[in-house]
Structure 1
Amino acid sequence: MLINCAAYQAGSKIADLPVEAISEYVSHPDCFVWVALKDATPEELQEMQVEFGLHELAVEDARKGHQRPKVEEYGNMLFCVLHALDMDEAGELEVGEVAIFVGANFVLSVRNRSRIGFLNVRARAEREPHLLQHGSGFVLYALMDAVVDRYFEIVHRLEGELEGIEERLFSANNSARLNIEELYALKRKLVTVSHAAVPLLEAIAHLYGGRVPGVCVGMQEYYRDVYDHLERIVKSVESVREMLAAAIQVSLAMISLDESAVSKKLAAYAALFAVPTMIAGVYGMNFEHMPELKFAYGYPVALLSMVVLDVALWWKFKRVGWL
């Protein structure tokens, strides 16, 4: 579905275009065309391939989707794949994909499975004509910056989830199983963010260092800024993962402590029952010659011994925290 199609010249928008007019403006060296598609059909991609002269392998990747984040060069054209991350109200992480084709005088963004739009990016670019006059190189930076900045919000929310779980680890109504399930769910989300951010580090490094692609010349410091943001995000993810690993270990330790406490209680109660059982068992044996059988106070003495020994054991277990 076509979202927007416009032509720009010298940092200013000159016209909204129908698709049929794209080739006319692309042919002008001092203009560039910015097209945005959402959930594009194969027919729409085929039409854009003809209008912009896109490489067939890049178009195939955009059509199939589910690509690893990357930046590839096809002659004078760049093909970029970014993962657009979003979190719904239930806290579930949604992963969309943005394929961006960048040439000297065109930018084509294809957004798939993502609710995140780029109208605000276009509005920002149009408010900054001194940067927009850099052409497609600045538009690519603006799109990358918008996608990467969303990662900060996602990481911040994941940090909040971890803090909430940590607070519940030591609560009286703590459910160890629920904590473990939530921690592993959080771990999967962190892996998703890592898979979106880490591959871009190396890819974006090629846009400002070494042999810089022609469309990025003059914008190196801006791409370096995106790289710095990604580096901070990756470090934040690693920090949260380390805290998560520690939280998992603490949760498992809490389970072991709970099991140990139960075992101690069971052992203590078993000992309390074992003492009177032993005494009653000895004097319940039907032997004819037993020293205490003729003792007039044997029964109360036996009962008293049971009580005294059990009270002593109970006091001892209570003192050491077994009961």
Structure 2
Amino acid sequence: MSMAGNLRKVTSLGTVGGLRKVARLARRRPRVDLSHPARSPLGSSVVNCVSYREGARVPASGDLVDIVERVRKRGDGFVWLGLHEPTDQEFAGIAELFELHPLAVEDAVEAHQRPKLERYDETLFAVFKTVCYVEHEELTATSEVVDTGEIMVFAGEDFVITVRHGRHGSLGPLREELESQPEQLAKGPAAVLHAIADHVVDDYLSVTDSVQADIDQVETDVFAEAGARVDPGRIYQLKRELLELKRAVAPLARPLDELATRPLRVIDPEIQAYFRDVSDHLLRVREQIASFDELLNSILQAHLAQVTVAQNEDMRKITAWAALVAVPTMVCGVYGMNFDHMPELHWKFGYPLVIGVIAVACLSLYRGFRRNGWL
């Protein structure tokens, strides 16, 4: 029988006795080490499954059911199960094993959720939007600047389930960092939840620093000598990407505030102080995004003003040259009417005189326009 089949069987029984029955079934088949990254008995979505006791990693043996049963028999420690974009079938048995609420399960599988914190009995369900900066050689009107993903976290008294969506936001380095701090990890699932929140907000800070570099470059180009020729699409693209970043960051303020102030059984009171620190970092990110938005509005307005000034300069030059051309046009138009009795029409010096008058008039107008900055 496959691991998924055993998992469905144990969850259909729904009791500790059911766990024992499946454990007996599991003894009849080869055991698989879930901690090995190349093996995935629960399906391709499983990234890792590890149990911890007193902040130390417990060597894994057997399947998920065995690991959970051992943790619950001991009455201390917890299991951390990491998943990446699981399907409904892959997540169904896990949801029943840990008695997860169907609404939270649906959100975790479907993704595309706003950051939020919900409580289902003794289980917390948190959604975090992850962001990463997309490197590009040159910012264009179609450049992707910010890429978003999601991390869903189920936190209970003896388990943490993380469900990641997107191409970035791997929690492997975070897991290793936590394992190097056993005193923090000993505080249970709440410590993992805090570490994930802190990791996500730190990524926000890194992305805002990179976005600031793009804004500085656009600002430099706009106020350069040829700033009026800057493609305004670059500014609009930055505003669109900044809006996507804002949608990921802003809704997280309320969940972090609840984690920092609201009494929750899963959250150790000592951990709440750490959540307040994360909330302060998030406030800094929100202020940066707001200032970036205002700065981009100012840059856009400055660019439009430069375009208007440039157009006015062009119109003045065109008007000045039209005035210069109007003088010879007028004189030539008068003498082109073919009347017999016109002044100086048959005079030997009439032609040079007319050319001289035209030249003096045009030269006077040219000097006047140059003196006033029109040419």
Superposition TM-score tier, normalisation by shorter sequence: over 0.9
1:47 aligns with 2:93: yes
Tell me the residue number matched to 1:194.
246
1:12 aligns with 2:56: yes
Structure 1, unmatched stretches of 5+, are none
CA RMSD of aligned residues (A): 1.6
1:255 aligns with 2:303: no
Distance 1:6 1:132 in 2: 13
Give the TM-score taking structure 2 as reference length.
0.82
Does the CA-based 8 Å contact 1:7-1:25 persist in structure 2? no
Distance 1:20 1:214 in 2: 25
Distance 2:79 2:210 in 1: 36
Does the CA-based 8 Å contact 2:157-2:266 persist in structure 1? yes
CA-to-aligned-CA distance 1:46-67 (integer Å, 9 cap, x gap): 1210221111100001111101
1:80 to 126, 147, 154: 126
Distance 1:16 1:237 in 2: 44
Distance 2:207 2:69 in 1: 41
SS of alignment partner, residue 259 of structure 2: coil
Distance 2:178 2:291 in 1: 34
Distance 1:26 1:200 in 2: 32
Does the CA-based 8 Å contact 2:123-2:155 persist in structure 1? yes
Tell me the residue number matched to 1:27.
72
CA-to-aligned-CA distance 1:84-116 (integer Å, 9 cap, x gap): 111233263211111111111110000111322
**Matched residue type, 1:233:** V
CA-to-aligned-CA distance 1:263-320 (integer Å, 9 cap, x gap): 1111111111101101111122222333333444221111101101111111111122
SS of alignment partner, residue 260 of structure 2: coil
Distance 2:129 2:241 in 1: 13
**Matched residue type, 1:46:** A
1:63 to 83, 95, 109: 109
Give the TM-score taking structure 1 as reference length.
0.95
Distance 2:372 2:341 in 1: 41
Does the CA-based 8 Å contact 1:176-1:254 persist in structure 2? no
Higher alpha-carbon deviation: 64-73 or 24-33 = 24-33
1:124 aligns with 2:147: no
Distance 1:170 1:208 in 2: 44
Distance 1:117 1:291 in 2: 93
Tell me the residue number matched to 2:319.
267
CA-to-aligned-CA distance 1:147-205 (integer Å, 9 cap, x gap): 11001111001100011111111334546352x11111111111111111110101110
Tell me the residue number matched to 2:366.
314
Distance 2:199 2:90 in 1: 25
1:217 aligns with 2:261: no
Higher alpha-carbon deviation: 146-155 or 288-297 = 288-297
| Aligned length in residues | 321
Higher alpha-carbon deviation: 30-39 or 8-17 = 8-17
**Matched residue type, 1:169:** V
1:95 to 124, 143, 148: 148
Q: Structure 1 residues 22, 52: closer, same or farther in 2, change over 3 A? A: farther
Does the CA-based 8 Å contact 2:85-2:109 persist in structure 1? no
SS of alignment partner, residue 289 of structure 1: coil
Tell me the residue number matched to 2:283.
231
Shift of residue 25, structure 1, vs aligned partner:
3.5
1:243 to 272, 279, 295: 295
**Matched residue type, 1:8:** Y
Does the CA-based 8 Å contact 1:25-1:31 persist in structure 2? no
Does the CA-based 8 Å contact 1:97-1:111 persist in structure 2? yes
**Matched residue type, 2:145:** E
Does the CA-based 8 Å contact 1:100-1:107 persist in structure 2? yes
**Matched residue type, 1:60:** E
Distance 2:310 2:70 in 1: 72
Higher alpha-carbon deviation: 81-90 or 287-296 = 287-296
Q: Structure 1 residues 44, 175: closer, same or farther in 2, change over 3 A? A: farther
SS of alignment partner, residue 266 of structure 2: helix
Distance 2:175 2:350 in 1: 99
CA-to-aligned-CA distance 1:113-172 (integer Å, 9 cap, x gap): 132211111112111111111100110000111111001111001100011111111334
Structure 2, unmatched stretches of 5+, are 1-44, 137-143
1:176 to 221, 229, 232: 229
**Matched residue type, 1:216:** I
Tell me the residue number matched to 1:292.
344
